[in-house]
Amino acid sequence: MKVMQPWLRWNLWITDLGFVVYWLIVALGLLPSELAFKDYNNPVMQSWNWSFFPIDILASVLGFIAIRQHRQGHATWPMVATASLALTFCAGLFAIAFWTLQGDYSFEWWAPNLYLIIWPLFAFYALLRPSKTSEAHV
C-alpha cells in the first residue's frame, strides 16, 4: 500500500479544515469587512462566492475520508485524495482566474488561492509516481 507522506496529510488536513472554517465564518456572517474581498456586499459577488461552497466542501469531505482511509489501511485512499486535490486545485484556479479578470490583485485573497493551486501539484506528483515497493515488483 502507498504511504501517505506527513506533508501530504498535514496539507490535506489544514486545507480541508480551512475550507470548513471559512464557510462557517461566511455562513455566520463573521467575516470582518476589512478582510472581505472587493464588492463583498454586492449580491452578485455573494452568489459568486457561494458558488464555491459545493466544490470546497466536497474537497474537504474527500480529503478527510482519504486521511481516514489511509489510517485504516484502505488501498483506495490515493484515489480519494486525488479527487480531493483536483477539486482543491480547481477551486483555487477558478478564484484566481476571476480575480485576474476583475483586475483585483488583493494579497489577502490571492495568497490562499495560490496555495490551493500550488500544493496539490506537488501532491499529484507524489501520488501518481510509482511507489518504491511497486517498482521492486516489476
* Residue 63: count of CB within 10 angstroms of its CB: 26
pLDDT at 95 exceeding the cut of 50: yes
Question: Given this model, what pLDDT does residue 1 score?
Answer: 75
Q: How far apart are CA 43 and CA 47, in angstroms?
A: 6
Q: How far apart are CA 87 and CA 4, in angstroms?
A: 19
Average pLDDT over the chain reads 92
The dihedrals phi and psi of 31, each to the nearest 5 degrees, come to: -75, 115
Q: How far apart are CA 21 and CA 103, in angstroms?
A: 27
Q: How far apart are CA 72 and CA 54, in angstroms?
A: 27
pTM of the model: 0.90
pLDDT tier at 79, thresholds 50, 70, 90: very high
- Residue 25 C-alpha cell reads as 465564518
The 10s digit of each residue's pLDDT in 21-44 is 999 999 999 998 888 888 888 999
